[in-house]
Amino acid sequence: MPPAEHRNENGRFESEHGLTTEDVFEKMEPLEPYTTGELADILDAPRRTVYNYLEELAEEGQIRKKKPEPRRAIWIRGA
């Protein structure tokens, strides 16, 4: 596990950067597609941290994940 993050007692990621899944979700405009790198730049946070939060949001059904290529993901927040 990277030193910049860990899971709390509820299994959710916590970042030493003060970032939360809610921060990531709120920065996403509805129906706008984003790459992990774009959101990492917007949030000024490590890509890996942002990716973990995006995966968590997708697992919870709050955003959609599309994989147009094997090593690329597009993240979309619903309306």
Closest CA to 23 of 53, 2, 51: 53
Per-residue model confidence (pLDDT) at position 4: 45
* CA 47-12-66 angle, 5° bins: 50
Model pTM score: 0.78
pLDDT surpasses 60 at 39: yes
Closest by CA position to 1, among listed 40, 49, 43: 49
**What is the per-residue pLDDT across 8-37, written as a single tens digit (0 to 9) for each?**
666 655 555 679 999 999 999 999 999 999
Q: Stretch 40-64: mean pLDDT, rounded?
A: 96
Region label for 75, one of left (φ > 0), alpha (ψ between -120 and 50) or beta (otherwise):
beta
- Which value, in Å, is the radius of gyration of the alpha carbons in the chain? 12
